[in-house]
Structure formats: C-alpha cells, structure tokens
Amino acid sequence: MAAILLDVDGVLHVSGEPIPGAAAAIRRLRENGHRLRFVTNTTTRSRSQLAGELRAQGIELEYDEVQTAAEAAARVLSGKRVLAMTMHALIADLDALELVGEGADAVLIGGADETPETNLVFSYMNLARAWAELEAGAELYCLHRNRWWQTKEGPMLDSGAFVAGLEYAAQVEATVIGKPSSAYFAAACEALDADTEMTWMVGDDVEGDIAGAQGTGLRTVLVRTGKFRPDVVERSRTRPDGIVSSISQLPEWLEEHL
C-alpha cells in the first residue's frame, strides 16, 4: 500500500466543478488501503472551506488530511510581523500570525482568483507598500509563484508575475512556501509517516506538482485534466512515472504498477 499525495485544483475539480469520477476514485484508493493527503496550493479558500467543498462533491475526507500553503505559511512565519497580500478567505488559516499594514518582518504574496478581489489585493498601492517593506528589510515569501492557472473559462494570469515583479524591484529572492518547495512535500510525507521514495504525488502541473515532487524523491503520476497541456509535457525535461487521463483512472493504474 502506498502513501499518495493528491493535488486538488485541476485533479479533483476545476473552478469548483468536479472532475467526473473523482469521488469514486478516492473511495477506491481508500478501499485499496492507500493513505491519502490532499496537498494544495490553493490561495482562495481556507482549509476548512476546501474540506467542505470536497465533501460536497462526494469526496470523503478528514479535515486533517488537507494540507494548504496558507496553513504552512502560518507555521513558517510564526512569530513574525507579516504584511499579507492574500485573499480574505485565507485569513482564517493565517490566524496565528500578527498581520500588519507596515513595519513588517515578512511580506507574504498569495495567489490570484477569479473574482474582482484580485484587483484589490494586487493593486498598485498594495504592491508599492510591499515594495517599501522589502526595501526596509522585510523578507519576501509567496504561497506559490504560478504563472497561470486553469479556470473553466480558460487559462488566467496568476500571481507569479507579481512575485517576480517585486523580486526585480526590490532585488530580493522570494521563498516559496507551497508546491514546488521540497519542505512542503516533505511535510506532507511526514504527516503520513511515509518515506519520500514510497510516496506518490498526483497532479496536473508538470512543474509545480511533478518536478517539485521528483526533486524531493517522490514518485509521480500526471493527470491529463486541469492545467495539463500535452505540448508542455513534450517540451519538459520532467518525466512523470505515469500519465493517466484523469483521477478516475488512477486506482486501476496503481493496481497495475505498484
């Protein structure tokens, strides 16, 4: 039996619309005795909101099985004064931090979402404030630095552009807290009490999920849903151990390949 880390967005749903067969696949993985952890970079939903949405989709899971980048940020940045440029929904997960408007030790950049809130969070005024904090010595962190993500309307610009912009302007380098950072994958393996070499990562993003997990020593399966693009995979040097058409095919693939 394996330990399996499952990406959420693009693997189990896209823009909140379930990927067909996802709930049944999760049930079968559990019946087959695999240990699961839901490992997401979501920057628009708190851990409990996400757990609720997945349950509403028919996926059985415990709150503790969900690992979010925001919750990891609360651990990594514990004790620091943080200027957070994140969606309001994440505040619940960042509760333990001292969130400040100025005089920060750290600037934390979250992701974009499909609502006008993105305009507010990444306004010129907020970006200029973040830059001023970095100039004054604050460290730059981001939940992820994705270039784009897949919505039901098509691809949309993500917040990686703002992270890169602040790095350029303040001449600093951001620390990534979520995927593809090794610390994030390692924390997930540790939560399952699993060796990295015996753990599988399942995702739709060849960079964030597959390359990141391989860099930490995990085995990987890429799904052809969500962010998957055949040309990106063909051009990439990253080779997943397996490719399946969707999460619905994963239980059978693992039965053959484990």
Q: Which stretch binds Mg ion (CB under 5 A): 14-22, 29-37, 108-116, 202-210?
A: 202-210
Tell me which residue has its CB nearest to Mg ion: 10
Q: Is 10 in the site for Mg ion (CB under 5 A)?
A: yes
Q: Is 158 in the site for Mg ion (CB under 5 A)?
A: no
Q: Is 7 in the site for Mg ion (CB under 5 A)?
A: yes
| 208 backbone φψ class: left, alpha, beta (φ>0; ψ -120 to 50) | alpha
Q: Is 133 in the site for Mg ion (CB under 5 A)?
A: no
- Comparing CB distances to Mg ion, the nearer of 5 and 163 is 5
Residue 133: CB minimum distance to Mg ion, A: 30
- Comparing CB distances to Mg ion, the nearer of 159 and 170 is 159
Tell me how far the alpha carbon of residue 25 is from its chain's centroid. 21
Q: Which stretch binds Mg ion (CB under 5 A): 2-10, 42-50, 61-69, 124-132?
A: 2-10
Q: Which stretch binds Mg ion (CB under 5 A): 98-106, 124-132, 159-167, 203-211?
A: 203-211
Please count the residues of this chain forming the interface with Mg ion, following the rule CB under 5 A. Answer: 5
The binder of Mg ion chosen from 93, 133, 139, 204 (CB under 5 A):
204
Residue 14: CB minimum distance to Mg ion, A: 9
Q: Is 9 in the site for Mg ion (CB under 5 A)?
A: yes
Which of 177, 158, 175 has its CA nearest to residue 69? Answer: 177
Interface residues toward Mg ion, by CB under 5 A: 7, 9-10, 204-205
